[in-house]
Amino acid sequence: MIYRETGVFKTSYAQDQAILRVPLDQYGLIFWIVLAFVIIPMTASDYALSDLATPFLIMSLAALGLNVLTGYCGQMSLGTGAFMATGGFMTYKLITAFPPPAFLTQFSILGFAPLDIHFPVMLVLAGLITAATGLLFGLPSLKIKGLYLAITTLAAQFFLIWLFIKVPWFTNYSPAGIAPAPPQTIFGIEVTGAASPVINRYLFVLTITVLAALMVKNVTRCRHGRSWMAIRDMDIAAEIIGISPTFAKLSAFAFSSFLIGVAGALWAFVKINSVQTDAYTILVSFQVLFMVIIGGLGTVLGSFLGAAFVITVPILLNIGLTALNPGLQALGFGGFEVAMIKHIEFMIFGALIIYFLIVEPHGFARLWQIAKQKMRTWPFPY
């Protein structure tokens, strides 16, 4: 009875088609948005914003992208890291090749330049280039499916990373293969670069991620999203009822790569302030995949929950194991070294994945659904 759907009457089509039809859900969303946009920036420390919240949001964006492909359309992918790299390197190339025209930045009112939207435009363009790349590597999905796609996407992972290392054009011929990401502004406000305030970077990433989440939520409600899910559930039946598998699969690949590309660009520009292939190894691909699995395949909420889990667990482990050190040393043991913590992290991660797959194959998002059901029938269990 805490969470109630009865007594909610819809009197117009607009109400019936709303994303959240239960008032409680709407209040919940407003609460989260206020929390993320107002309370967290006001209260959180710089460390929490830059090392917890920002990577969490960027990885959520990547997880959203992969969720579109794997969760909604049922296509396996291990090439997320490579597509993130494509986004990062392409944004860098676009920004260095086409610097913002002067009139965009010079026209300003009280430090606010309403025309300065060069960076978001470049992000979108880089996203589109990544979408095209994803489309290219998604082409084999028309003939093969399931786990075979793992190999195709692995090919993307290894080939693209090799390309970015071997072709110096991508880093503007910088000798070490690492290009510093030039600081960017929006509306005259610095949003990336080491010198910009952490809070600006956080809010910028937050805005993009929220927009992307809304977009994914809406796309998956419409015709295209439904055709993806039909392909995922039973491709042959979907084709019989008139869904084109070609279009559905390729559009899923393109849309997913677009989001992943933007996430990759944000990672390079906002998080690490440089563009380099080290940030996009196959380990990143697996991380994003875990986020999607642990969070819940085919849910927007799951992408966020999974990202939160994968980002925070290593940090908590690190803190926890380091905290044990004085005690262990007092007992005469050596204590944990940094490398050891890394190995233990790998073990715990592997074990957790297996545990989650066994106990709750539908991920965290399913736990939330169960909780809602419990609240619906509270205080009676049935």
Partner 1 sequence: MNEIIQTFLLGPIKAMADYPPAVVETVIAGLGNGFLYALVAIGFVIIFKSSGVFNYAQGAMVFFAALNFAGLIDIGVPWYLAGLLSLLLMLVFAAAVERVVLRPLVGQEALTLFMATIGIGFFLEGMAEAVWGGNPRLLKIGLPEGSVFLIDYAWAQDLGLDVIIQQSDIIAIGTGIVMVLGLYLFFQFSRIGRALRAVADDHTASMSIGIPLDRMWVVVWALSGGTAFVAAVVWGSKIQIEPTMIGLALKALPVLILGGLTSIPGAVIGGCIIGVSEQLFEVYWGQPLLGGATTEWFAFMLGVVFLLFRPQGLFGERIIERV
Interface stretch with partner 1, choices 1-9, 90-98, 141-149, 183-191 (CB under 8 A): 141-149
Find the binder of partner 1 among 27, 162, 333, 378 (CB under 8 A). 162
Q: Burial letters for 298-313: b for 16+ Cβ neighbours within 10 Å, e otherwise?
A: bbbbbbbbbbbbbbeb
Backbone φ/ψ region at 74: left (φ over 0), alpha (ψ -120 to 50), beta: left
Find the binder of partner 1 among 40, 154, 186, 317 (CB under 8 A). 154
Find the binder of partner 1 among 14, 42, 102, 147 (CB under 8 A). 147
Nearest residue (CB) to partner 1, 50 versus 174: 174
Q: For residue 183, state whether it binds partner 1 (rule: CB under 8 A).
A: no
ω into residue 379 within 30 of 0, thus cis? Answer: yes
Q: For residue 144, state whether it binds partner 1 (rule: CB under 8 A).
A: yes
Find the binder of partner 1 among 158, 247, 333, 378 (CB under 8 A). 158
Which residues from 52-81 bind partner 1, rule CB under 8 A?
A: 76
- Separation in Å, CA 281 to CA 35, 161, 319, 379: 33, 8, 25, 49
Alpha helices in 167-269 (DSSP H): 198-221, 223-233, 235-240, 245-266
Shortest separation between residue 275's beta carbon and partner 1, angstroms: 19
The answer to whether 142 and 238 are in contact (CB under 8 A) is no
Interface stretch with partner 1, choices 43-51, 153-161, 185-193, 200-208 (CB under 8 A): 153-161
Shortest separation between residue 217's beta carbon and partner 1, angstroms: 23
Q: For residue 30, with 0-12 CB atoms within 10 Å meaning exposed, 13-18 middle and 19 or more buried, which class applies?
A: exposed
Nearest residue (CB) to partner 1, 2 versus 315: 315
Which residues from 269-288 bind partner 1, rule CB under 8 A?
A: 282, 286
The whole-angstrom separation of Cα 186 and Cα 114 is: 8
How many chain residues interact with partner 1 (CB under 8 A)?
Answer: 47
The whole-angstrom separation of Cα 230 and Cα 233 is: 5
Whose structure tokens read 């909610």?
Answer: 8
Q: For residue 223, state whether it binds partner 1 (rule: CB under 8 A).
A: no
Which amino acid makes up residue 64? L
- Rounded (to 5) percent helix, strand, coil in the chain: 75, 5, 25
Q: Burial letters for 202-240: b for 16+ Cβ neighbours within 10 Å, e otherwise?
A: bbbbbbbbbebbebbbebbeeebbbbbbbbbeebeebee
Nearest residue (CB) to partner 1, 221 versus 343: 343
Nearest residue (CB) to partner 1, 84 versus 289: 289
Find the binder of partner 1 among 18, 151, 194, 211 (CB under 8 A). 151
Nearest residue (CB) to partner 1, 320 versus 350: 350
Q: For residue 348, state whether it binds partner 1 (rule: CB under 8 A).
A: yes
Find the binder of partner 1 among 99, 146, 197, 326 (CB under 8 A). 146
H or E stretch at 28: helix 23-34
Which residues from 360-379 bind partner 1, rule CB under 8 A?
A: 361
CA 41 to chain centre: 20
Q: For residue 176, state whether it binds partner 1 (rule: CB under 8 A).
A: no
Find the binder of partner 1 among 187, 344, 366, 372 (CB under 8 A). 344
Nearest residue (CB) to partner 1, 51 versus 239: 239
Residues that bind partner 1 (CB under 8 A): 76, 140, 142-148, 150-152, 154-155, 158-159, 161-162, 165-167, 235-236, 239, 245, 282, 286, 289, 293, 339-340, 342-354, 357-358, 361
